[in-house]
Structure 1
């Protein structure tokens, strides 16, 4: 039997979701009243209707933080995930897929209530993904689901902004953040989606200013957080509020802000752009993996950029090649 490490590099708390990906076009998005490139929350009835209308799909375990934990494990880091599924078929798929990466996942499946969460992802020819999420069992994560023994062992606790949409999950989020801080760990947060930021702007600002050590956001999210007129102005604001901010800019690469220093990270182009699902999640994985191995912030950014550059060349959010071998090939000086 494999022994459990006494310390975990990263423990993530997030929505446990199975993704259903389908190639689509702008006309279909229009016919369904969907806004391209965003994430919308839907109820179970809407989810069933959209699932019936969309083309053939590929099912794969997803969820923003779960994707990040899976990629950290694939890179060779130690990772654990906390999130709620139902004891149904999709819940079994989610648990199997995540554990197969080497990530620890022990949250007991719910025996009643809503079914396991699913996200219908429509990918258009420009590689934009439009997400429609039924949160199901995942939003009923509560403080009793939090394995505090796992949280205490984390060097970094990684949380997703999507958790802020449910009061029970929000309480679990705060309890875990307090626990990891009390045990000498750090807190990282992904802002998740600009609409998510719009819904929770004031509490997110408070969270970033008072509790978060490492922030992940894309250009639209950070501009929304500070209601800034430009990306540069938003970057100026955020560097006053957390120690490290990783700001992704699609084909322009990313900025890693460390104190007054700006590390400009170039993108990696490893093939044709096919699907941006999971790009931000995989970027976070590369950065947090490097960070917990003791690498400098700019080096962490390079690994992050490389990992994100790979995942956008495939359909689906979980890398289908060895990220560890990818780093050894393209960034040999940073390989573990």
Structure 2
């Protein structure tokens, strides 16, 4: 699951033997018998409200009914967290054994979306699959779905008269149907979460089910993912199905989900090599704390050691939200370092491109009231790479065109003096236009950074915000236009 960027932070692990299952698969069909004797089980009291925090859907299986009270507890907590409830009916034998309980749950209005196959629908309604669909749609809050194997699926929205019938994918040679229902439901919910209409949700559900039945077991290999992407993305599939492209896509989706969950804010860049014995460490801790208190937004970083950790630790001292987009290896390290970030506040990226895009997105202002910034602490090649990338995005009007974002270069002890002279030389040779650097502001200390943010977001009059003493700050554009003089640039004001 980690390899596929599935978050496992909330997964409970118990010691003990697993359940055992005997599966007979022949001609694309399979039957199975499972023995759960002696294996650990999840008990209702072990579920906690935080397990459902931030979830859009809680996907629950009727197999939970074998543990008394577990399904009811999960529904209660999901509802309390504001999540919708999707219930799949597991098997016709589960429906037969717990028919009255399942009907009571559906009729109570506790379920938003119900999934079942045709055998389960017939068992539930005591009639045809269509009758089972009608019964579930009548009582679900949102819709019901019945899968029909090689005949596709039926979808009916609650309160609607019409049934949407979607055919199965043509040309599929079924090897083993294990996992078909789960993959169908996953793809269908993916469609719902991405705002697709019900016909498209049913279509990609059939695609996903059609992909997994082409292999033994419930895990799709590269060929099956390629087959699925070919049908989902058409002409774009040639690029999507490459291993690296597909992995980058998955990583970006995980990053975007974290950004939406944690909220955008101030993004810190800086060296992973500068540790607690560096004179810059304590300054960065204090800066992270004070900026978090001033703006009240999320503190973002690459989640690595050094300056990233120092700024994040400062925000944690302030009791504010933090998050990180991590990479497998930082400069000066040989392995992924231990995390200081809270559970559920980080994404691990294998590809640098995913991480870079996500960190930029973490600081984008989506509306006038957003308070974000890109803050560059002392750093090396990686920091400069990110620095020039952000300046290039601004230059090309790909960033900050509607709501500009301050880009602050923290010049502790003249650390970036050489960089500023290099940029002045670029301006002298005509390879950089000074006006393009208007959003880049140089501050020599923490006081200057805080003053910049106060002025940028007009926070002087806000309650609880104290005015700092004057500090040397100036726009890089003025520095270039005024002959590389810090004094004249500072006098020009922000």
> Which of 128, 131, 135 is the aligned partner of 1:233?
131
- Cα distance in 1 for partners of 2:149, 2:124 equals 18
What TM-score, normalized to structure 2?
0.44
Question: 1:242-282: CA deviations, max 9, x gaps?
Answer: 12111011111100111323111110135421111111111
Q: Which has the bigger relative contact order, CA under 8 A and spacing at least 6?
A: 1
Summarize the alignment of residues 83-94 of structure 1 with structure 2, pairs less than 5 Å apart: none
What TM-score, normalized to structure 1?
0.63
Aligned residue number for residue 73 of structure 2: 175
- Cα distance in 1 for partners of 2:215, 2:100 equals 36
CA offset at residue 328 of structure 1?
4.1
Task: Decide whether the 8 Å contact of 2:24 with 2:32 is kept in 1.
Answer: yes
> Which of 34, 58, 66 is the aligned partner of 1:165?
66
> Which of 187, 190, 193 is the aligned partner of 2:91?
193
**What count of residue pairs does the alignment treat as equivalent?**
232
Summarize the alignment of residues 129-148 of structure 1 with structure 2, pairs less than 5 Å apart: 129-136=30-37, 140-148=41-49
> Which of 163, 188, 192 is the aligned partner of 1:291?
192
> Which of 247, 250, 254 is the aligned partner of 2:146?
247
> Which of 205, 208, 213 is the aligned partner of 1:304?
205
Q: Which has the higher strand share?
A: 1
SS in 1 for 2:56: strand
CA offset at residue 108 of structure 1?
3.7
SS in 2 for 1:234: helix
Whether 2:215 is the aligned partner of 1:314: answer yes
Question: 1:222-241: CA deviations, max 9, x gaps?
Answer: 1111212x223323322211
Task: Decide whether the 8 Å contact of 2:60 with 2:86 is kept in 1.
Answer: yes
Larger radius of gyration: 2
> Which of 19, 28, 34 is the aligned partner of 1:117?
19
Question: 1:154-211: CA deviations, max 9, x gaps?
Answer: 10001111111122xxx23222211221232100011010011000000101112221
Task: Decide whether the 8 Å contact of 2:48 with 2:77 is kept in 1.
Answer: no
- Cα distance in 2 for partners of 1:116, 1:217 equals 26
The gaps in structure 2 that reach 5 residues or longer are 238-252, 254-494
Aligned residue number for residue 47 of structure 1: none
CA offset at residue 135 of structure 1?
2.0
Task: Decide whether the 8 Å contact of 1:110 with 1:137 is kept in 2.
Answer: no
Aligned residue number for residue 79 of structure 1: none
